[in-house]
């Protein structure tokens, strides 16, 4: 990059292709609007076929297209001027973004406040040879989105990222070249790390299993029932080949539901395709993606918490998956934060021991205390409101509708039973463990989650005693950290106060 010196001063623009982002958003709105007017478009097409384009133009129909093209040109000019007058400067330990348009912008970010400097390449960026640098800061107000997103030519993106990470290392007091890889492209892994066997890789079969074990119980039952119904119908005496084609329109909503369930599996496979994770020094490196290649570098000291998740199917087949809670990974729509895929417990513990031993000192699955049994009584009291609401709804339904009483009673009993089931599963899944450096919290209903909260990452803890819990001298609480909240189950007052004292 021109302008780079020993003082790490770099002054660059984003790649020219970033101009077309605004155009894409504009045309996306136009396409949606045209889709909503599909009947009118069909009529216009028929008129063009019968009367010709000149007749339509003579009647003034061409002005709509001209207006769209004029607005497109205006948007392009605006984006071009914005791109031309926007500069990104790395000056020592400062990143300065300045835009000298009518609406002037001058943002300054200190390198020591950065928590992640990641690289992404979607399909378009791979075609034009660019890469996107995404930088996140340790700010709670922007923890759910990326603070800075810049598009550079691939080689410049790698160089810019290296310069930023070099400055981050210098600020932290580490060696200049420590944790600084020569090649930071999303699709690559350092050769020396790969030869040492420290890279955990998941192939196509592993990803397919992960998609299955991560499937929600609702989607699973939907697919199973759909397949069973199809097999039954095709093998029964009621099967008539022409019925399905004659009623294809009525089947579209059903097919869309099944397509949604299938897409939830396919999406995870595409997002996590070729998943690799390894540790180099004090940083975790994640590489994955099919259509969008992602390269995340996560400093271990920036990880807020570790989550071990067991969706319903994973609980049945005894599989576990680990996720990290940190700024820069999983903080935007479409981003996921898995550190491992769905694996058996022994394999999970081995991988976590290599990747983040700082969180494994708490022996996550050992000596975990369950929720106080008195919590069952409190949950029973809290369920009274639902009983009253269901009873009131049943009475109103019986008075204002012609539905038979036994059907209303059956639905009310089923709904009440489901609520009781949720309370029961919540009690069974709840638990806690106070370690020397972290607090382990368990919660969930159908899905079970272990959350490892390091004491030095906790921002606030709140304890609450329900009126029904006060006579029993128990209480529950909430642990607040950057980007997440974890629930403390019902426990004795002295235990809750002990945890609060240890955390704060």
More confident residue, 446 or 184: 446
* Statement to judge: residues 221 and 81 lie in one domain: no
Question: Token pair for residue 409?
Answer: 């009673």
Q: Is 275 left (phi over 0), alpha (psi -120 to 50) or beta?
A: beta
Domain count, the chain: 2
* Statement to judge: residues 31 and 143 lie in one domain: yes
pLDDT for position 4: 42
Does residue 430 register a pLDDT over 80? yes
Q: Does 416 map to a domain?
A: no
Q: Does 58 map to a domain?
A: yes
Residues contacting residue 16 through CB under 8 Å, at least 6 positions apart: 83
Residue 368 vs residues 89, 429, 452: alpha-carbon distances, Å: 50, 11, 12
Mean pLDDT on 403-414: 89
* Statement to judge: residues 66 and 177 lie in one domain: yes
Q: Does 372 map to a domain?
A: no
pLDDT for position 452: 92
Mean pLDDT on 293-307: 86
* Statement to judge: residues 23 and 170 lie in one domain: yes
* Statement to judge: residues 67 and 148 lie in one domain: yes
Q: Does 299 map to a domain?
A: no
Would you place residue 427 in the very low, low, confident or very high pLDDT band (cuts 50, 70, 90)?
very high
Would you place residue 308 in the very low, low, confident or very high pLDDT band (cuts 50, 70, 90)?
very high
* Statement to judge: residues 177 and 212 lie in one domain: no
pLDDT tens per residue across span 21-62: 767 766 777 777 666 666 666 666 666 666 655 555 555 556
Q: Does 452 map to a domain?
A: no
Structural domain harbouring 259: 204-271
* Statement to judge: residues 173 and 264 lie in one domain: no
Collapsing DSSP states into helix, strand and coil, what is residue 471? coil
* Statement to judge: residues 101 and 217 lie in one domain: no
Q: Does 344 map to a domain?
A: no
* Statement to judge: residues 117 and 65 lie in one domain: yes
Does residue 455 register a pLDDT over 90? no
Bridge partners, 306 (sequence order): 324, 452
Collapsing DSSP states into helix, strand and coil, what is residue 73? helix
Question: Model pTM?
Answer: 0.77
Boundary-marking domain end, from 222, 248, 271: 271
* Statement to judge: residues 119 and 25 lie in one domain: yes
* Statement to judge: residues 28 and 161 lie in one domain: yes
Q: Does 340 map to a domain?
A: no
* Statement to judge: residues 159 and 21 lie in one domain: yes
pLDDT for position 307: 93
Does residue 143 register a pLDDT over 60? no
């Amino acid at each position: 990059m021109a302008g780079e010196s020993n003082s790490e001063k770099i002054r660059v623009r984003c790649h020219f292709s970033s101009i077309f982002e605004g155009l894409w958003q504009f045309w996306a709105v136009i396409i949606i609007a045209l889709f909503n007017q599909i009947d009118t478009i069909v009529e216009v097409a028929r008129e063009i076929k019968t009367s010709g384009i000149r007749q339509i133009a003579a009647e003034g129909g061409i002005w709509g297209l001209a207006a769209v093209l004029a607005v497109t040109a205006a948007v392009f000019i605006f984006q071009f001027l914005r791109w031309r007058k926007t500069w990104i400067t790395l000056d020592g330990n400062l990143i300065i973004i300045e835009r000298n348009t009518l609406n002037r912008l001058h943002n300054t970010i200190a390198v020591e406040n950065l928590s992640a400097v990641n690289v992404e390449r979607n399909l378009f960026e791979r075609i034009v040879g660019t890469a996107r640098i995404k930088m996140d800061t340790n700010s709670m107000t922007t923890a759910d989105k990326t603070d800075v997103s810049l598009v550079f030519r691939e080689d410049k993106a790698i160089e810019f990222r290296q310069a930023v990470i070099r400055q981050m290392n210098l600020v932290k007091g580490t060696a200049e070249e420590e944790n600084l890889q020569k090649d930071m492209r999303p699709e690559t892994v350092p050769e020396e790390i790969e030869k040492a066997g420290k890279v955990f890789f998941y192939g196509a079969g592993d990803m397919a299993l992960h998609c299955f074990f991560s499937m929600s119980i609702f989607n699973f039952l939907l697919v199973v029932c759909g397949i069973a119904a199809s097999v039954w119908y095709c093998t029964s005496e009621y099967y008539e080949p022409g019925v399905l084609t004659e009623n294809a329109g009525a089947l579209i909503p059903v097919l869309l539901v099944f397509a949604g369930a299938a897409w939830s599996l396919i999406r995870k496979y595409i997002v996590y395709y070729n998943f690799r994770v390894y540790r180099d020094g004090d940083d975790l490196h994640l590489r994955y993606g099919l259509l969008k290649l992602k390269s995340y570098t996560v400093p271990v000291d920036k990880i807020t918490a570790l989550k071990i998740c067991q969706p319903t199917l994973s609980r049945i087949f005894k599989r576990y998956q680990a996720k990290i809670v940190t700024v820069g990974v999983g903080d935007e729509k479409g981003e996921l934060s898995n550190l491992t895929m769905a694996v058996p417990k022994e394999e999970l513990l081995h991988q976590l021991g290599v990747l983040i031993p700082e969180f494994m000192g708490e022996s996550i699955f050992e000596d975990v205390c369950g929720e106080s049994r008195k919590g069952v009584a409190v949950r029973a009291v809290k369920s009274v409101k639902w009983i009253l609401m269901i009873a009131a709804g049943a009475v109103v339904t019986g008075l204002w509708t012609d539905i038979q009483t036994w059907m209303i009673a059956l639905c009310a009993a089923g709904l009440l039973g489901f609520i009781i089931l949720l309370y029961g599963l919540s009690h069974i899944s709840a638990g806690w463990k106070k370690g020397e450096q972290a607090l382990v919290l368990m919660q969930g209903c159908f899905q079970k989650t272990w959350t490892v909260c390091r004491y030095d990452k906790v921002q606030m803890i709140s304890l609450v005693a329900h009126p029904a819990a006060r006579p029993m001298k128990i209480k529950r609480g909430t642990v607040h950290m950057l980007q997440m909240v974890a629930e403390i189950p019902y426990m004795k007052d002295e235990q809750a106060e002990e945890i609060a004292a240890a955390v704060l």
